[in-house]
């Protein structure tokens, strides 16, 4: 019923957690042909997908294409109804709360709360850990990549939403890809982006999933956290969907 899909360059944070993930379902690792495969030799019953990035992949800032590409390549080997997509440089030991939330809202984009900020940033659930029905992601990522290829960058035009402009990071196009697969993309207007986001997402607070390690690029370079303190400063992330309409700030 469930596959956990690890995407991105091979990294010890996820590789060290594979046996734990296998307690919950199947595991797929979607990495690149440039990775050192000796890192994964001791992992049994894991599907390894190595792919080569097309030459136009560097055209987009924020590595939007990289995320969609590795996710889509891995999805081709997912044969379960549900899939959870995780970054390769992160690890989550307690997936139970995430899985329970996803199963309770099977037609929603289930997201952790890392940089999920509600109405100040609509159409922007987290892209650190997310999941839902496999069929929606397969259809949505296929559409995104096919739309990306002719223009070489991520833009609202791919979804017939030109007014959204270009995407510098992955959160919005990843969510829009899911909404395309779900079949609600045509209902999005400039006036209802918050309602669309609220109606089609389910949120899991990472502090319900301890212990964990998550990652982000900062001005000082790559940093890793084992707590959630960084999420609640100037531009706070949601702690639950109850906060969605109440958190207010100016970017």
Cα(73)–Cα(98) distance, rounded to whole angstroms?
A: 23
- Looking at residue 198, what is its pLDDT? 98
Pick among 3.40.50, 3.30.70, 1.20.1280, 3.90.550: CATH of 2-243: 3.90.550
User: pLDDT tens digit string along 144-178?
Assistant: 999 998 888 899 999 999 999 999 889 999 999 99
Six token digits for residue 24:
């919950």
| Cis upstream peptide for 78 (omega within 30°) | no
- Looking at residue 121, what is its pLDDT? 94
Six token digits for residue 106:
């099977």
pLDDT at 116 over 70: yes
Beta-carbon contacts of 94 under 8 Å, excluding residues fewer than 6 positions away, are 208, 209, 210, 211, 212
CA distances from 216 to 55, 109, 127, 224 (A): 26, 21, 11, 7
- Looking at residue 56, what is its pLDDT? 63
pLDDT at 57 over 60: no
Average pLDDT of the chain to the nearest whole number: 93
pLDDT at 223 over 70: yes
């Amino acid at each position: 019923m469930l596959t956990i899909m690890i995407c991105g360059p091979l990294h010890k944070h996820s590789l060290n957690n594979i046996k734990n993930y296998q307690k919950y379902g199947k595991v797929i690792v979607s990495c690149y042909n440039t990775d050192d495969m000796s890192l994964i030799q001791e992992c049994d019953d894991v599907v390894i997908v190595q792919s080569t990035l097309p030459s136009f992949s560097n055209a987009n800032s924020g590595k939007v294409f990289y995320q969609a590409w590795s996710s889509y390549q891995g999805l081709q080997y997912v044969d379960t109804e549900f899939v959870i997509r995780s970054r390769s440089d992160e690890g989550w030991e307690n997936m139970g709360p995430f899985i329970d939330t996803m199963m309770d809202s099977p037609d929603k984009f289930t997201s952790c709360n890392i940089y999920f900020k509600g109405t100040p940033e609509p159409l922007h659930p987290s892209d650190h850990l997310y999941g839902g029905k496999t069929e929606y992601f397969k259809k949505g990522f296929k559409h995104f990549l096919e739309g990306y290829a002719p223009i070489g960058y991520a833009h609202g035009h791919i979804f017939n939403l030109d007014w959204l402009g270009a995407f510098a990071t992955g959160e919005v196009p990843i969510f829009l890809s899911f909404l395309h697969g779900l079949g609600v993309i045509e209902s999005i207007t400039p006036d209802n982006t918050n309602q669309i986001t609220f109606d089609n997402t389910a949120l899991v607070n990472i502090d319900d999933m301890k212990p964990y390690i998550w990652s982000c690029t900062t001005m000082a370079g790559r940093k890793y956290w084992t707590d959630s303190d960084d999420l609640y400063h100037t531009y706070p992330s949601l702690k639950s969907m109850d906060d969605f309409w109440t958190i207010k700030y100016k970017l």
